Amino acid sequence: MREPQQERSRATHQRLLEATIECLAERGWAGTTVGVVAQRAGVSRGAIQHHFPTREDLITSALEHMFDRRMHEVRIAAEGLPRGEGRVESIVVRLVDYFTGEVFKAALQVWTAAAADPVLRERIVPLELKFGRTVHAVAIELLEADDTDPTTHRLVQATLDMGRGLGLADVLTDDSRRRSEIVKAWAAHLAQALAPARPGTAPADTLPRRE
């Protein structure tokens, strides 16, 4: 009997995490109450408290779980990308997609609430630092770039900062057409800048030197 109970418990846990992200993206921080999440997940308030003692536990756990899953999906999707021309652009598109997706929109609601709530901010700042380090590491991995080079590090970070800005621009209106043009232009620049640092290629004189 224990195994079916464990399976049901895991399924409930998963539904709660997914329902929380959906509520945050659609209703914002104030609208994502324990009661609303329980109703969407189809469970009782008592079931939520069994898995997550506080609302903050539920929300931070949901963000962390869904972020990890999204980064895994980005890695899997990148495995099927062709080598050569167009690869960098495809990778940049997938990274930017994260910042325009449901997880980012949900996180944005929590970050905004944390700015005015010192207790919540204390929990969110370490989570945001983890997200930042992880997405940077994933970008380096997919681009096969040398992160020990200061110029490369800044270029990859600029890519992520650009993605975050494009994600913010997409919150209120559909910015997909302009975003596509910006991503294409930046990816072409990034591919050219990173090419000399790839294995088997010679350094280019046009690449910015280390200070």
pTM of the entire predicted model: 0.79
Supply the pLDDT for residue 2. 55
Supply the pLDDT for residue 204. 41
CB 23 within 8 A of CB 36: yes
Domain boundaries, the chain: 55-197
**Cα atoms in the 13 Å half-sphere on the side-chain side of 42:** 6
CB 187 within 8 A of CB 89: yes
pLDDT in tens, the chain (211 residues): 455 778 888 888 899 999 999 999 899 999 999 999 999 999 988 888 888 999 999 999 999 988 988 888 888 877 778 777 789 999 999 999 989 888 888 899 999 999 999 989 999 999 999 999 999 999 999 999 999 999 999 999 999 999 999 999 988 888 888 999 999 999 999 999 998 644 444 444 444 443 3
Q: How many helices (H) and strands (E) does the chain have?
A: 9, 0
In whole angstroms, how large is the CA radius of gyration of the chain? 20
Supply the pLDDT for residue 173. 85
Supply the pLDDT for residue 211. 39
The C-alpha atoms of residue 56 and residue 53 are separated, in whole angstroms, by 9
Please tell me whether residue 174 adopts helix, strand or coil conformation: coil
Please state the separation of Cα 196 from the chain's center in Å.
28
Supply the pLDDT for residue 187. 96
The C-alpha atoms of residue 178 and residue 64 are separated, in whole angstroms, by 30
C-alpha distance from residue 83 to each of 40, 71, 124 (Å) = 43, 21, 38
The C-alpha atoms of residue 74 and residue 203 are separated, in whole angstroms, by 29
Q: Tens of pLDDT along 11-61?
A: 888 999 999 999 998 999 999 999 999 999 999 888 888 889 999 999 999
